[in-house]
Amino acid sequence: MSAPVVSIRDLKKHIGEVVTLRGWVYSKRSSGKIRFLNMRDGSGVVQIILVKGQVADSVFEDFDKLTQETSLILTGKVREEKRSKIGVELDAETMQILQVAVDYPIGPKEHGPDFLLSNRHLWIRSLRQNAILRIRSRFVKAVRDFFDNDGFICFDPPIFTPAACEGTTTLFPAQYFEDQTAYLTQSATSHGNDIAAAFQQRPPTGIAAACIKAAGVTVPTPQDLAAHMPAIQACVVQHATTLGLNDTFMFVMIACGVCAILALFVGRDPAVQAAKEAKTRGEEVAEREQPVFAGE
């Protein structure tokens, strides 16, 4: 019976079992009769141990053929390891090399930003960039979850326009079919107005409400947005070692900033605002109607 294929992120569910991983070589090193292989599959990175005498000689010899980003299929037994970042390691049994990567440009040595940005499609395979993208994804999910649960409508405005919008003079042309030229739009406000009018569930109390609210009137408060912070914080803490303290602090501050900005600029509940205004007017009237006593 063949071993089940699992993802690295799910290895903790298979401690003591023999499983199969499919992925790429992230890094490797040797120490005497022991070989250490770090393998990634897009969901995480795990350390795999190959011990001479415990695996076939052919497997041990194939280890020397491995290069960074070589694709392979590996079978082994999952073992709990508290020193590991993911809590487990794999004792290798069999290994099949699918393709050996040749001249992979991004190695352990230091690279300049121009070089890394020119090879961005490969750079995002590194642990640091991978962690940053995962945290960004968590931020976006928290914001989208809030608005989805509150009945907001997500719409996609056109990305091309035939002329300048809102008086701007800087246009970015793009060939549209054979005989037409279109331009990348720089504003989606006009389409936002149309969407707001189409999906508004009650008469707005102002221009801001009409433009911003597409459905419902409940407004995110710091308390509402804070409900998403535990998931964001867990994601940040998970990648703290990879990013370093300064980056972690920066992302926590960004998360707080996202909550604050949304709470301030999304708008206010018209009913709550009307009640506050009525209360203020009542207090002003009551103050004006206070009796005037002699000597005052």
**More confidently predicted of 199 and 132:** 132
Q: What is the enclosing helix (H) or strand (E) of 94? A: strand 88-99
Identify whether the C-beta of residue 138 lies closer than 8 Å to the C-beta of residue 246. Answer: no
**More confidently predicted of 44 and 155:** 44
**Total number of residues shown for the chain:** 296
Q: What domains are there in the chain, each with its CATH number?
A: 8-99 (2.40.50.140), 127-160+174-283 (no CATH)
Average pLDDT over residues 159-183: 72
Q: Which of 49-63, 185-199, 229-243 has the highest mean pLDDT?
A: 49-63
End-to-end CA distance of the chain: 98
Q: Of 58-62, 173-177, 199-203, 209-213, which gets the smallest average pLDDT?
A: 209-213
User: For 127-150, what is each residue's pLDDT tens digit?
Assistant: 889 999 999 998 889 888 888 888
Q: What is the pLDDT of residue 110?
A: 86
**More confidently predicted of 12 and 219:** 12
pTM beyond 0.95: the answer is no
The b/e string for 243-259 (b: 16+ C-beta within 10 A; e otherwise) is beeebbeebbeebeebb
d(CA 163, CA 181): 10
d(CA 77, CA 58): 19
Q: What is the pLDDT of residue 186?
A: 67
Q: What is the pLDDT of residue 25?
A: 96
**Is the model's pLDDT at 70 over the cut of 50?**
yes
- Report strand pairing: 88-99 vs 45-51: parallel
Average pLDDT over residues 185-211: 63
Average pLDDT over residues 183-201: 73
CB-count exposure of residue 185 (10 Å: 0-12, 13-18, 19+): buried
Identify whether the C-beta of residue 201 lies closer than 8 Å to the C-beta of residue 213. Answer: no
Average pLDDT over residues 82-89: 94
Place of tokens 């037409």: 180
User: For 200-232, what is each residue's pLDDT tens digit?
Assistant: 665 444 444 444 444 444 445 555 556 666 666
The tokens for 216 are 């419902």
Residues 6+ apart with CB under 8 A from 237: 248
User: For 146-166, what is each residue's pLDDT tens digit?
Assistant: 888 887 878 887 777 777 666
Give the chain's mean pLDDT: 76
